[in-house]
Structure 1
Amino acid sequence: MGSVVKLHGLPMSTNTARVIAVLNEKGVDFELVPVDLSPFGQVPVLEDGDLKLFESRAISKYLAEKHSDAGADLLLRRGGRSLAESATVELWVEVESKHFDPAISPLLYEAVVKPVLGQATDEAVVEAKAAELEKVLDVYEERLGKAKYLAGDHYTLADLHHQPYLFYLMKTAKAELVESRPRVLAWWNDISARAPWLKTAEGMKFP
């Protein structure tokens, strides 16, 4: 028996939820420890034996690689799949990180986090970031007209990495950014109904 994986973070944190979602997809038992050990003051931090990792996307990819035979094929590497298929996953993972995240993260900080902290939302920031997010989602709407999921016909990390932020977005007035795009909405309805995600979302409640 190996040591139990420990994940240091907070379940309502989008970055922590991203990693929990992968653990749940892969059926990996883990211990959630509400402590921040990152040298950059970030959560989550994963401890797997002697290995310690931070940065949620790096952790997600590590877990998807290590547990490649369990659960969903999140990197499209199984069964002699082509290099092109796995490269498409990497492409859309990068799109999430470089285009989607910079738009939606500040929007949700203003619309969701600040009110929890008792601070006033800067509506100008919300509107500016919503305009950026619209452009990204327009690209997604076109892409999802050609494939069921961002990387093709199968659910992968490219989809999973979007779920924590979209979960919170859909609880705000800016949910209309998704709801007004039928293919993006159908994609969200699909990926948000996955049993591992529903398990993840149970913990995503602010106190």
Structure 2
Amino acid sequence: MVVKVYGPDAAAPKRVLECLIEKGVEFRTVTIDHFKGEHKAPEYLKLQPFGSVPAVQDGDYTLFESRAIISYYAEKYKRQGTDLLGKTIEERGLVEQWLEVEAQNFHPPIFDLVLKIVFGPELPPAAQRERDKLCKVLDIYEEMLSKSKYLAGDFVSLADLSHLPFTQYLVGKMGKEYLIRDRKHVSAWWDDISSRPSWKKVLELWPGQY
């Protein structure tokens, strides 16, 4: 069954695409044009009632929210492709822990920083505050990554890959790569996960965003 992924041009759906490529799952994409209001169209709202992307259709099964989707496919195809959940229940717990950290601690300041820089003047006071929040999070990452190669241990997991889309903004068009490079272990971690063939494939297929 081919998985249908809605909204590939946005950042969050790229978490899903990265995961599907890592797991070797066949998919096709459906563009959702926000400027035309397609995310609020009645047919799309049947799949995603909040009108955001991504959503996936897998046969008769529909799922939305990118982190829920990648957890689902990592479990469904656990024995296929890269194991992104860990081999023990303890490792799985750490993966889930760092996925939550990404969602609750890392994503809010980097998302707000992107919006304030892209749609406002260069580093206005509000953007400066978000940058400072992000720096504090990255300092914690630096300490944790000094003890292990990846966030959940010595294996790459969903927790690492979930950071790719918005960190790519940071080091790409936003020109804030120094926030990563100023931290030795964060920098090495970023180089590792962003050089994975799966992520390079995502950037190759949807190059314009970054």
TM-score norm. by structure 2 comes to 0.88
| Alpha-carbon distance in 1 for matches of 2:85, 2:127 | 33
| Alpha-carbon distance in 2 for matches of 1:57, 1:18 | 8
Q: How much has 1:110 moved relative to structure 2? A: 2.1
Amino acid at match of 1:107: L
Provide the aligned length of Structure 1 versus Structure 2.
Answer: 195
Q: How much has 1:122 moved relative to structure 2? A: 6.2
Q: Which of 13, 23, 28 is the aligned partner of 2:25? A: 28
Unaligned runs of at least 5 residues, structure 1: none
**Residues 111 and 126, structure 1, Cα contact 8 Å, conserved in 2:** yes
Aligned pairs for 1:97-116 (under 5 A) are 97-112=103-118, 114=119
Aligned pairs for 1:32-181 (under 5 A) are 32-35=29-32, 36=39, 37=44, 38-76=48-86, 81-112=87-118, 114=119, 120=121, 123-171=124-172, 172-181=174-183
Q: Please list every run of at least 4 consecutive aligned residues from structure 1 whose deviation after the TM superposition is greater than 6 angstroms.
A: none
The farther-off stretch of 51-60 and 31-40 is: 31-40
**Residues 130 and 174, structure 1, Cα contact 8 Å, conserved in 2:** no
| Alpha-carbon distance in 1 for matches of 2:81, 2:139 | 30
Amino acid at match of 1:104: I
Deviations 1:114-173 (A, max 9, x none): 2xxxx6556222211100000000000000000000000000000000010111100223
Work out the percentage of aligned pairs sharing the same amino acid. Answer: 44
Q: Indicate the SS of the match to 1:32.
A: strand
- C-alpha root-mean-square deviation of aligned residues, in Å? 1.5
**Residues 17 and 204, structure 1, Cα contact 8 Å, conserved in 2:** no
**Residues 74 and 156, structure 1, Cα contact 8 Å, conserved in 2:** yes
| Alpha-carbon distance in 2 for matches of 1:123, 1:66 | 44
